[in-house]
Amino acid sequence: MLGNLSGSEIVILMLIVLLVFGANRLPDAGKAVGKGLREFKRALSEAEDSIQRLPPSSSAREGEQPRDGKPKRLVE
């Protein structure tokens, strides 16, 4: 994400953040960002775990045609 920024650009961004939040509120803002990132990572990990626990599907994937060339009927 920050791979394309030079050192001077990062310093300028840090100064802007310091001006916006102020020296007193900056630690609280950092804690809030860190907490949000941890929660996001935890939710992402839980979603990946639940997807991995799904049983493999025995039917053809949706939209795939059967091997005999006839489209399958969705409604009988």
* pTM (predicted TM-score): 0.49
DSSP string, 6-54: -HHHHHHHHHHHHHHHHHHHHHHHHHHHHHHHHHHHHHHHHHHHHHHTS
- In the block, tokens 């059967």 appear at 66
Mean pLDDT over all residues of the chain?
A: 80
Distance CA 53, CA 38 (A): 23
More confident residue, 24 or 36: 36
* % of the chain surpassing 70 pLDDT: 70
